[in-house]
Amino acid sequence: MSQSKPEEVREKRAPKGEIKFQIQLTEEQKLVKRGVYEKDVSIVLGKFGSGKTAVAAQIALDLLFKKKISKIYITRPIDFSSTGYLTGDADSKMMFHIFPIKQNFYASYRKDKIDELFKDGTIQVVPIDYMKGYTFADSCTIVDEFEDISFKDFELILTRLGKDSKLIFTGSEEQTNVNSSCISKIKCLEKFDLVNYHVLTSQHRNEDITKILNYIKENGK
């Protein structure tokens, strides 16, 4: 008797129809999602509040619930110098660092289910500093705030990508806090057909923020 391949088994177990998420994607976010399904490496840029992390979180959950992957990894630049001042065990301290991503998971789907996925290890946090030797297989990895990583770290993360996996970099050039940012170097990928590259323009936070900041730029001393 012939045995089903892992891909076939995963496809058979996948739920029918669309997953019912708690937030609806905009048209430009839908383009990002379509691109993630088509290509393994995605770069999603945009100003603050443009929904970069939100769309990445929802796409990762969509892939997971549809059995396209079996694990979600999340990472972002972490300043470990401040970690020792936080309360709790090592896992609790790491949660402070990745809370913005976790918040977007909560916004997309039921909190109890998201907490369960973290607890059973389906969603894991992988600090960039400890990433050597990893292979991200059968998974979706979200690299949040990647504007604050060096090209060396970008290369390290990129070369972890294994088979049947997706890698989503989200970042904002305007919010770069380091001199060694990889952003200027990776911009050439916008025209490269192996990369799903998008710049989001919509605003998902309070509309007055931009007006206030613009006023300060024009009138502040």
Count of H-run helices and E-run strands, the chain: 8, 6
CATH, residue 164: 3.40.50.300
Residue 92 is part of which domain span? 23-219
Q: How confident is the model at residue 206 (pLDDT cuts 50, 70, 90)?
A: low
**172 within a domain of the structure (yes/no):** yes
The answer on pLDDT for 2 being more than 50 is no
CA distance 209 to 157: 33
pLDDT in tens, 143-201: 999 999 999 999 999 999 999 999 999 998 888 888 889 999 999 999 999 999 999 98
* The pLDDT of residue 56: 95
Structural domains counted in the chain? 1
The answer to whether residue 4 is domain-embedded is no
pLDDT at residue 129, as a whole number: 86
Residue 6 lies in a domain: no
- Answer yes or no: is 16 within a domain: no
The model's pTM is 0.81
Spell out the residues 6+ positions from residue 81 whose beta carbon is closer than 8 angstroms to its own. Answer: none
- Residue 69 near residue 63, CB atoms below 8 Å: yes
Task: Decide: helix, strand or coil at residue 108.
Answer: helix
Distance CA 198, CA 31 (A): 8
Whether 180 is covered by a domain: the verdict is yes
